[in-house]
């Protein structure tokens, strides 16, 4: 008998598999296909202070072993998420959920997190610092240790629940940013968010996506994600949630060997709605195959 349980920032998960934000909606859509309570948890759709319509279409471009998206954080805003989406979710998901938060200024992040912190359903706040800082020239908060730390401090000042900072891979030194977040009080780090990518249509000779560029995800980015998770996990003393191109139970074990306590699955959900269910069901077989009886014993052991 294998043990798939892990503990993320003080909360026990039945297994480490977590659908990533933006690939699982608010959960109840997938609950029509299978019992989503078999998940460790999931990170719901990126939520902002105000409603957002998102970017113009087309927003998606297919690639070899991946995809590019520029959805633009389309969501109904935090107040409607709390009043409408979470009650619907409560009918089909009976575990703590991970709330993914985005913002365009430090007060944005703090206010949105403060509101979600009061929700009993929310177990963790996953704060996405890959958003453009409207007061800082449009550069992402996650490209600067100082800016990422400022967001972390602001959120920690108004919340009681674990705060996990989600980092962008589009930086020169991801370790310095992760350490700055840890020093500012972060309870965990999740990475990697999407890489920046682009496709051009040979017929029209124009970018495929209306936004020109977007987030590149899928199995092609897995080696980059493993490398960054390994670097960060060996540099900080807080849990790391690994993601980026995970499609199989073998990938999940590899990510955990690199240092991840839990593993998020993103683009795979858009290709195969049962991706997370399949990974969870296959996990005991793969653990047995590689002589792993307890997942906690392999975290960071590469």
Q: What is the pLDDT of residues 64-99, one digit of tens each?
A: 999 999 998 999 999 999 999 999 999 999 999 999
Quickly count: other Cβ atoms within 10 Å of residue 154's Cβ. 22
Residues 185-240 have pLDDT tens digits of 999 999 999 999 999 999 999 999 999 999 999 999 999 999 999 999 999 999 99
Q: Which domains does the chain have, with CATH numbers?
A: 6-297 (3.20.20.70)
Report pLDDT for 172: 94
What angle is formed at CA 49 by the lines to CA 45 and CA 55, rounded to 5 degrees?
60
Contact 105, 80 (CB under 8 A): no
DSSP secondary structure, 194-262, as one string: PEEE--EETTTTEESSTTS-EEEESGGGHHHHHHHHHHHHTT-SS-EEE-SS--SHHHHHHHHHHT-SE
For position 134, what pLDDT does the model report?
66
Identify whether the C-beta of residue 117 lies closer than 8 Å to the C-beta of residue 149.
Answer: no
Q: Over the stretch 242-282, which tens digit does the pLDDT of each residue have?
A: 999 999 999 999 999 999 999 999 999 999 999 999 999 99
What's the confidence (pLDDT) of residue 138?
65
Whether residue 130 is predicted with pLDDT greater than 90 in this model: the reply is: no
Residues annotated as catalytic are 131
Contact 125, 159 (CB under 8 A): yes
* Separation CA 49–CA 175 (nearest Å): 29
141-197: per-residue pLDDT in tens?
A: 999 999 999 999 999 999 999 999 999 999 999 999 999 999 999 999 999 999 999
Q: What is the DSSP letter of 291?
A: T
- The pLDDT of residue 36 is above 80: yes
Residue 24: the pLDDT is 97
Q: Binning pLDDT at 50, 70 and 90, where does residue 137 land?
A: low
pTM for the structure as a whole? 0.97
- Residue 135 has what pLDDT? 72
DSSP class per residue in 71-97: ----B--HHHIIIIIHHHHHTT--S-E
Of 36, 47, 95, the residue nearest 73 (C-alpha): 47
Any idea which residue has 């704060």 for tokens? 127
Count the alpha carbons within 13 Å of 251 in the hemisphere toward its beta carbon.
Answer: 27
Instruction: Tell me the average pLDDT of the chain.
Output: 96
pLDDT single digits (tens) 278-301 = 999 999 999 999 999 999 999 999
* pLDDT at position 209: 95
Q: Which of 246, 207, 198, 248 minimizes the C-alpha distance to 224?
A: 246
What is the predicted pLDDT for the residue at 131?
Answer: 75
């Amino acid at each position: 008998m294998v043990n798939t349980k892990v503990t993320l920032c003080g909360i026990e998960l039945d297994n480490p598999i977590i659908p990533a934000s933006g690939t699982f909606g608010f959960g109840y859509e997938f609950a029509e296909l299978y019992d989503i309570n078999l998940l460790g948890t999931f990170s719901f759709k990126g939520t902002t202070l105000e409603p957002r319509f998102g970017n113009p279409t087309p927003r998606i471009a297919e690639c070899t072993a991946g995809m590019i998206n520029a959805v633009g954080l389309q969501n109904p805003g935090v107040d409607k998420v709390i009043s409408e989406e979470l009650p619907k979710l409560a009918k089909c998901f009976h575990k703590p959920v991970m709330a993914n938060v985005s913002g365009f200024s430090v007060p944005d992040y703090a206010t949105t997190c403060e509101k979600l912190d009061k929700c009993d359903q929310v177990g963790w706040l996953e704060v996405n610092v890959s958003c453009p800082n409207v007061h800082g020239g449009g550069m992402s908060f996650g490209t600067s240790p100082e800016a990422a730390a400022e967001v972390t401090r602001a959120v920690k000042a108004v919340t009681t629940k674990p705060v996990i900072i989600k980092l962008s891979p589009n930086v020169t030194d991801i370790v310095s940013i992760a350490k700055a977040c840890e020093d500012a009080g972060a309870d965990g780090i999740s990475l990697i968010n999407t890489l920046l990518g682009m496709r051009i249509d040979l017929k029209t000779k124009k970018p495929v996506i209306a936004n020109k560029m977007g987030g590149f995800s899928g199995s092609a980015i897995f080696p980059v994600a493993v490398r960054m998770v390994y670097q960060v996990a060996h540099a900080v003393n807080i849990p790391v949630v690994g993601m980026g191109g995970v499609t199989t139970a073998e990938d999940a074990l590899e990510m955990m060997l690199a240092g991840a306590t839990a593993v998020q699955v993103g683009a795979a959900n858009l290709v195969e709605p049962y991706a997370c269910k399949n990974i969870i069901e296959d996990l005991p077989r793969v653990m047995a195959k590689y002589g792993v009886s307890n997942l906690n014993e392999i975290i960071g052991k590469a």
